[in-house]
Every structure is written in structure tokens, then in C-alpha cells.
Amino acid sequence: MTVRVNKPAFNIREKLSELERPIGVKGNELMKSDTVQEARDIVSAGRKNMIINGQMFINQRHGTSSYTIPDSTGGSYALDRWAINEATDGSVSVNMDGDPYGGNGDASEVQEFAKAMQIACTGTDTSLSSTQNLHFFQNIEGYNTARLGFGTPGAKPATLSFWVRSNVPGTYCVGLENNAVNKCCIREYTVKSGFKWQKVKLTFPGCTDGTWETTNACGIRVRFALSSGSQYIDGIDGEWVNTDELTTGNQVNFMTSTNNRYFITGVQLEVGENATDFEHRPYGEELALCQRYYEENKNSGAQYTATGYHTSYIRSGMQFQVIKRAAPVVTITNASNSAGSSLSLSIGNNNIMGFNYSMNSTGTSYGVRFDYTADAEL
């Protein structure tokens, strides 16, 4: 004889709601969440900061040295993940400042950051032409910004927070832009006089239309303006527009004196309307995130062994420290053989995992030394 027992439907949400203990606002929101991502957003689980190297403590290209930004309309990388677009008649230098507390502001908070990015005006431009501008930016990969749902009816707001100080007080602008460069939203913020650190918190409304990348292309470009010509000043504070704007008409001109300095650190972009505490990731983790886009191996003192046999060359391979966003541009420098003599190496079959290198030689084994860079920036 078969006995069948019918169990009543069990609803975990209903049972938890029967508990007499209050679960708070966050608990109620969590119980109403429909997806894992929604639950993570509510409790700030996982990695919330879409900015990489927001604490400005990784600089593979230049280390602690000051770097003069070349004139460019496409941007030149300074600290990891941060590029500077210097398109004025003046000039600027950038460095990773290891003692950012010259202006304390609220020192109890800002001192959680050991580094800051410093931008210094080294050549002035007091009257910018219409197309000239100075800004720095970070291209954020689409995989990391897809959670915002931009371009859909369910687009979520995003909040940007950062610490800043400058001896050029006034109104500055920062904006979000899509990769197609036809949707942007500008927010204004005020740098106070006194050259003191201050925390800025800005919320951008979700963008429900437009084309937004959600894979390994640029999902969102975050642009901080320091100076702008008239062609890029038609942004409207807090509103999405269908043009490429950099600022509103209130933006100050940072390029008026070679004494001008601008410092920034603790940059965070997250889902929602609230600026939460900065997400401090371990140095090794942050470095690996940076190396997805750019990796530098200055290890020419170490010897690698190329093996194999061919009538005219020997070939070997090098594996990257981190899988790259896309197949990178690989550049080899300081190549030498085991005796210290200069050597010509050829690169081939570079992909997201590594690359092959070969040299004109016969035999089955050969000792080589070299440095390399692998650039897969957006």
C-alpha cells in the first residue's frame, strides 16, 4: 500500500515575516529582493566599487616619479587605470603623492588613504580656444557596469564619491559617458577655499536609453574636468543629454597659474543613491585588477630559458600574471642573452593568456633576459 503525504507549500518569506524580532529597513528590502544581485546591492556584498585604483596607490608605468603629460586628445595614462587628456596650450605633470595630508580637512577620515594623485599646472593657458580642454578619466569595463542596467527601463542610479583638495577654488564638473559618446550626465561640485581636503558625494540618475556596453568594451567613462573650452560646456547639472559634453558653463579654468595644484583620492562609483564607506581592497587584489588592462614586467635581471629546436630559431612562451581584457599589445625591451649581449626577440601569438617569443639561434636551449609590457587598456 502506498501512502502519499501532501505537504503544504512553504514560503520562507512569509515565515520570516511572522517573526516578532524586527529585521530593520535593510532586512525588509532584502526579503523583497528578487535576484542575487539585488540582494548583494542591498547588503553591499561582493565588490561594490566599480572604480579600479581609486585609492591611487598603484603606478606601474611611472612609480613615484612625476610624469609630464604629452599633448593628446586621446589621453595618456599616468597612474594605473587613470588617463589624462591634456589638449591645451599649457602643460601639466602628474605624480602619485605619498604624503597627501598637507591640507588636513577632516583628517580623521582622509588619513585612511596613504596616496593621492596630484596634478600640477606646469605651463599656463589663460584663454582656452573652443575645443581645448583638460580632464582625467577612467574607462570602466562593461562587465563591471552592467549591474546598473543603463539603457533599460530598470536603470539604477549611481553614486560617485571622492576626496579632493585644490588651491584653485570654485565649481568643477565630473560626468558619466557611454562608449558611443552620445549620452552623458554632468554633475557640479564646489572646491572650497583654504586648500583643505573635503569629501564630495554625487548621485547620477539611471539612464534608461542609449547604447551601453556590457561586455569587455568600455561600459562607462568617468571624466573629471579641470578646464574646458566653449565646445564642451553645454552640460546640464544632473541631467542626461544626447551630446558629448564635459562641463557646465560654471567650470573653473585650472590652467591659470603654474602654482595650481589638484589632489584626489578615495574615488568610488557604486550602485544606488547613497555614498557608502570606501571599499579598501588588498594591494595584491587591486594590482591584479589593474594588470587585467596593463602589466609591466621589469625583470631583465632574471633569466628565462627558451627551449626547442628549429634549423634557424628557438621559440618559447611567457604567461601573463593576470588574464587580460583582450589580446594586448606586447612590447619587449632590454633583451639580452645569458652572456649579457643584446638580443633581438620576435613576438608572436600574443593572446589574453600570454605570448610567444623567438630568436634567431640554433640548438635546443638558450638563456635570455628581457622586460615587457602588455597593454590591453580600453
Contact 238, 132 (CB under 8 A): no
* Residue 49: strand, helix, or coil: coil
Neighbours of 280 (CB within 10 A): 13
- Please give the mean pLDDT across all residues of the chain: 87
Q: Which pLDDT value is given to residue 22? A: 47
The DSSP code for 158 is: E
pLDDT tens digits along 272-326: 999 999 999 999 999 999 999 999 998 756 667 666 555 566 778 899 999 999 9
> What confidence category does residue 139 fall into, taking pLDDT thresholds of 50, 70 and 90?
very high
Q: What is the pTM of this model?
A: 0.86
Hey, what domains does the chain have and what are their CATH numbers? 19-43 (no CATH), 67-291 (2.60.120.260), 294-375 (2.60.40)
Find which of 73-82, 96-105, 234-243 is predicted with most confidence, using mean pLDDT: 234-243
Who's near 315: CB < 8 A, 6+ residues apart?
Answer: 306, 308, 348, 356, 357, 358
Residue keyed to cell 634557424: 312
Q: Which pLDDT value is given to residue 39? A: 63
Cα separation, 289 vs 269, whole angstroms:
16
Nearest to 222 by CA among 50, 20, 374, 68: 50
Least confident of 91-100, 117-126, 331-340: 331-340
Q: Which pLDDT value is given to residue 264? A: 97
Which grid coordinates are listed for 89?
A: 596650450
